[in-house]
Structure 1
């Protein structure tokens, strides 16, 4: 056998394994922990969006949407420093970009109902992409249909959207606030025209 520094090959291998083994074990443990944390963070986003999909103005819903770009960013390959995304990650981020872009175009829709309908479709696409990335077996019809949404919640969101759209038109100068005078004060001429009450004097009383 080959001898290096007075050691045989098998001894060198054993020594290297003793030194390198713990280092590799630590790195593997760190990688597994990062994988679990990333999976848990993504699962939290999906669960939050699913549980609040009937309340899209809810604070937690908005926060979950804003975390998508970070949690599905992918990872940078070592040395070449290029971002790599899986196909499922790309589908999620692209779906979110389309939905986000539509949310900011409410003023482009003369009918708020058309904007709401389009929002529903794009949000369903996003949920479907997330479910596929998390290995859930959902279809788009199921995601859109199996959702309890009280009528009052839908009316509230539509009302708030109409208010925001109206305020935007006022502040941009596209429209003006209507004014109605309901209790205008009378001028002096009108006051002078009032009929004075009939008065009597002592003289008239005695005459009568």
Structure 2
């Protein structure tokens, strides 16, 4: 390089020394502050993603147990965790409205087991719940970057027959106990004389 060019660069740097000093001071002061702010933004995004994944995984793993407390808790978290995801919120609103309004109402458990129309309406509501849950999971999966199809989400569920049997027995026991306590059924007592 020519000496005149080097001298010109040095002279220019000396003239702008105050400017570069100011830039250096700003970088020293602002650098750590910006780094902390960027770290906070990254942590917030990671936390939001973890919360969304928790809800999605909880709903996926509890598809076969619609009354699971974990599932109900996850459903109730959707509004504030997925608040920016319009399609997820819309799918949740449809499901929530259905759960609150479309199931047949019965104040007396004993009436439900004897009324075929009630059982038919209940089964129909359950089928619609399954469809709406599938749509909700599908929208969540798209938001989270998973590639599930609706058929897989609906059909790829394992529920042991023992669970079904246990749930039915529990329900029947509650119905019978409710009938006894309401005075609609008698509790038979047998006294045995053992010798």
TM-score, normalising length: structure 2: 0.68
Q: Which residue does the alignment assign to 1:35?
A: 45
Q: Does 1:70 align with 2:80?
A: yes
Q: Which segments of 5 or more consecutive residues in structure 1 lack a partner in the other structure? A: 74-84, 168-176, 184-208
Richer in helix (by share): 2
Q: Which runs of 5+ in 2 are unaligned?
A: 1-11, 106-116, 189-195
Q: TM-score by structure 1 length? A: 0.64
Q: State yes or no: 1:102 paired with 2:98.
A: yes
User: Do 1:2 and 1:9's aligned partners in 2 also have CA atoms closer than 8 Å?
Assistant: no
Task: Give per-residue Cα distances to partners, 1:126-145, cap 9 Å, x unaligned.
Answer: 11111111111101011111
Residue equivalent to 2:149: 139
Aligned length: 157
- What residue number does 2:22 align with? 12
Encode CA deviations 1:142-189: one digit per residue, 9 max, x unaligned.
1111111234545737x95xx89xx9xxxxxxxxx89579x9xxxxxx
> Which residue number in structure 2 is paired with residue 45 of structure 1?
55
Structure 1 segments of 4 or more deviating over 4 A? 1-4, 151-155, 177-181
RMSD: 3.4
Could you say what secondary structure the match of 1:103 adopts? helix
Aligned counterparts, 1:57-206, within 5 A? 57-73=67-83, 85=84, 89-105=85-101, 106-107=103-104, 110=118, 111-151=121-161, 153=163, 156=167, 179=184
Asked if 2 retains the 8 angstrom alpha-carbon contact of 1:55 and 1:153, the reply is no
Give 1:50 deviation, angstroms: 0.7
Whether the 8 Å CA contact 1:45–1:67 is kept in 2: the answer is yes
Residues in 2 aligned to 1:179 and 1:48: alpha-carbon distance in whole angstroms: 40
Q: Which has the larger radius of gyration?
A: 1
Task: Give the Å deviation of 1:13.
Answer: 1.1
| Larger RCO, structures 1/2 (Cα 8 Å, 6+ apart) | 2
What is the DSSP-based 3-state SS (H/G/I as helix, E as strand, rest coil) of the residue aligned with 2:145? coil
- CA deviations 1:64-103 (Å, max 9, x no partner) are 1111111112xxxxxxxxxxx3xxx111111111101101
Alpha-carbon distance change, 125 to 2 in structure 1, aligned in 2, over 3 angstroms:
same
